[in-house]
Amino acid sequence: MAEDAAVTHEERHPLTDISSQIGYWERWKDRWEKCTSAEERYGLLHIGFMVRANTPDERDERILFYIACADSWHYGCSLHRKEDQDAHFWFSLSPPERPVDMREMRRVVARKAFEVLCQNVLKNTTPASDYPSWCELVRDKAIMEKLFWFFRHIQNLGHSYDAERDVYVRTAHRFVEDLAEFVWRFRYFGKFAGEEDYAIQEQLRAMRPRIIEILWASGKLMRLLTKDPYDLDEACFAKLEELAFRKEQWLPTNDKQGNWTETYRRPASLEEAHFAGSSAAIVLTHRRIVAQEEKRFEKLRELSERRDELEREQATLQPTA
C-alpha cells in the first residue's frame, strides 16, 4: 500500500492541476486588479503582450497601459507615496545583498514594463524596410501624446552611456532617433499621397518642436545638422531659442566690484549661449546663417537671370548693319 501511494505521488506532475489560461487582455486586466504583490504584477507584465487583444481599442489600451507602468523605471521618482514606510526589506527580484524600500520595489516592476514596451512597441523589427515597424503609431494621437508624456522625464529614455550595455536603453534611444527621422522625412504611406497622408504630414509637423526638446535633452540635437539637414520652420526656431536660454551655464561674469569671474547663470544673449556650448544655440545660429545664405544666393541667382535677360533684350535693340 505504501509503495502504491509512493508511485502515485511520484507519477503526479505538479502542473497537472492547470486547467485554465488567461488568454485575453480583458482577463489579464482582471488578474492585474486582483493582485498587488510586486512579483505577481512583474509576471503579468511579462506576458501582457502575449495574451490576445481582440480589438484595435484593446491593442491601443495595452500600449498606453505599458507606457504608464514604465514611467519612472530609471529613478522611481513618481513611485513614492506619502504613506510608505521608510523600512527596507529583502525583495526577491533584487540582488540579495541589497535591501530595498517600497519605491525601489515598484521601480523594479516599472523596469519590467519598460523592457516589454521596448521589445513589443519601440523596437523596429523591420530595419530593412522604408517604414519602421512602429510607424502606424503616428496615426494614433493618444499614443503619441502618451509617448511625449513618457519622455517628459529624459531619465525614462535612459542614459546614452547605458545604451552600450543595455539592449533596452539602446532600443529606446534608437526609437527616438528613428522617430525624429520619420517625423521630418515622412511623405506618404503606400505609393501615392492621399488626404490622410497630408493630414499626417501636418500632424507630424506639429510634433517637431517636441521632438527637438527630446533630442536636446538626450544630447542628440546635433542630428539636425546632418549632411541632409532637417527642415526647420518658425516653431522649431522658437523651440531652439527657448532651449538655448533654459539652462544655466558657466559664463564669465563681472560682479558689482568690477571683478571678472565665472558663474553659473543663464546666458544673456544667443551669442553667450553659443559661447557656453549650448547645442540649441549652436544649431539655431548655424541654421539661421544657412537660411540667410540660401535667401542671399537665391536673390543673386534671380538678379543674374534678370541681367542675362536684359542683355539679350538689349542685343535685340541694337541697330542692324
CA–CA separation, 317 and 311 (whole Å) = 10
Q: Which of 119, 87, 121, 82 is nearest to 101 (CA)?
A: 87
| DSSP 8-state secondary structure symbol assigned to residue 269 | S
Q: Which three cell numbers stand for residue 254?
A: 563681472
Residue 22 grid coordinates: 488567461
Q: What is the pTM of this model?
A: 0.85
pLDDT of 226 strictly over 80: no
> Which residue has cell 485554465?
20
pLDDT higher than 70, residue 193? no
Sheet strands (E) in the chain: 249-254, 260-265
- Band of the pLDDT at 282, cuts 50, 70, 90? very high
Q: Which of the 8 DSSP states describes residue 120?
A: I
Mean pLDDT computed over every residue of the chain = 90
| The three cell numbers locating residue 159 | 542614459
Q: How large a percentage of the chain has pLDDT more than 70?
A: 95
Dihedral of alpha carbons 258, 262, 263, 269, sign = positive
> pLDDT category, 34, cuts 50, 70, 90?
very high
Q: Are 134 and 122 in contact (CB under 8 A)?
A: yes
pLDDT of 127-177, one tens digit each? 888 899 999 999 899 999 999 999 988 899 998 888 889 999 999 999 999
pLDDT score for 118: 98
Burial of 320 (0-12, 13-18, 19+ CB in 10 A): exposed
pLDDT at 146: 96
Strand partners, 254: 260
Task: Report yes or no: 249 and 262 within 8 Å, Cβ to Cβ.
Answer: no
